[in-house]
Chain A
């Protein structure tokens, strides 16, 4: 490295400095506002580890009771994914620039979709528990809206990347909008759609395991009960059951998606 000066000078060094200063200021500020105290954490880490130890002594006798709520959780996520995706499909067509050419319509409905996407799933669960009462119905509603936001975006992004050729061909042949969608759009994206729905299902299974914490049905209710009774041996079991089911669903759904694409 004898002649580094002959290299062209790097531009925009100040950006790096600005970023560094921003990071340091952000760090100090966030540590101050959250009253972070690392010493406290290391001091009390024994507390944390005690809970972990208790969780490691899994209460296997409880396993039988987790089967039914776990199945309910799965059912909740299947129905929620189904409803959410069914709603997202027409909506995605509405916000795709190559299907609907009216910029105002696309803009307004995309804005709504983006807002739906920002609402956290647990908050949706808490709201629907207030509306329809404690139980899996609240969870289904929460998951349906959550899926709608997530899948809607994936859907319209997929629709916008399709080959415009078939669309133009059908339009030139005088086909109506429904026919264009049926014969030019759907065949091109059907596999992507199924793949995204499966992906959403994977995420929903994860999400639905904790939705019950707010009273929205499934295994989360048992998790909340075990946590509030400080019976960490049961918490450990429930976490293990969730882990096993999530792994299984991820594996099956991953294989199915690989086969599709």
Chain B
């Protein structure tokens, strides 16, 4: 590239901005390395890594099905149930929240802003804390997981719903109004048919994420496959950790695949 010098130079302000942000980024990165404990690989770490890898290579297949309801298959089914019911509950709760937060015409700006703020707050509230609170209310078990998934998902699902409402084409609704339709008829004939595919698709997407959260909520006692997983990690039975990990991977991959192909057909 010997002719590069003949090209016009970038404007000075651009170059300074570029340099400024590069320096800033480098400074932040250097800062974040300060005060970190030095990373020395202990003898122990290699041993543990070796036994983990060994456990992953030789998973405990006898745990897949024992028939007493404490095995991997039933925990995975429980996880699936938590995600399904939790997502279902959150889809219902999300509807009013979505209409609250959607930025549509003829709406007071504070309503939209407050709605969006509430949804952000729900999204940020740690799901684990929520699960522990529900465990206090209904006792440990999958039902607490269902409630945690159900309430936490509202933050994201209602946001997606409200974006679908915002992007809706207003023409059909206006046509119904012009033909003398009431507000209820506008909703039923014009809005819902337009929104339905989007809503179902968003709910399916959220279901994929719910499977992931349902599989770790058990770590704090909220049912599903997380409970045997944390026991296996704490007792260092790596072959059991291995088979549970494979179980989670298979469950997540399968649900992602099925829900993904359903979503493709919808839109």
Contact = CB atoms under 8 A, between A and B. Distances in A.
Interface string A28-51: 011111111100110011011001
Interface stretch (A87-95, A101-109, A115-123): A115-123
A115 B249 contact: yes
Contact of A118 (B82, B128, B219, B249): B249
Which of B125, B136, B236 has the most chain A CB atoms inside 10 A of its CB? B136
Nearest to A35: B143
Interface in B110-165: 120-121, 124-129, 132-134, 136-138, 141-143, 145-147
A150 B20 CA distance: 28
Given A29-B81, A37-B143, A243 B138 contact: no
A84 interface: no
SS of B interface (majority): helix
Interface string B29-58: 101111111010010010011001000000
A209 B216 CA distance: 15
A119 B251 CA distance: 11
Nearest to B33: A79
A197 B42 CA distance: 31
Given A47-B137, A118-B248, A30 B45 contact: no
A243 B121 contact: yes
Interface in B175-234: 212-213, 215-216, 219-220, 223, 226, 229-230, 233
B93 interface: no
Given A35-B142, A135-B37, A239 B137 contact: no
Nearest to A75: B32
Contact of B81 (A30, A44, A115, A119): A30
Given A34-B143, A51-B133, A209 B126 contact: yes
Number of chain B interface residues as a range = 35 or more
Interface in A10-34: 26-27, 29-34
Contacts of A78: 28-29, 32
B197 to A, nearest CB: 12
A145 interface: no
B252 interface: yes
Which of B33, B121, B129 has the most chain A CB atoms inside 10 A of its CB? B129
A184 to B, nearest CB: 13
B88 A27 contact: yes
A247 interface: yes
30 contacts: A27-B85, A30-B88, A34-B78, A34-B81, A34-B82, A36-B143, A41-B147, A44-B137, A45-B137, A47-B136, A48-B133, A51-B133, A75-B35, A75-B36, A79-B33, A115-B253, A118-B256, A119-B248, A120-B212, A123-B226, A126-B233, A127-B52, A130-B48, A131-B45, A132-B42, A133-B45, A135-B37, A227-B132, A235-B129, A239-B129
Given A121-B216, A137-B36, A223-B129, 7 more contacts: A34-B81, A72-B35, A120-B216, A123-B219, A127-B233, A130-B233, A239-B129
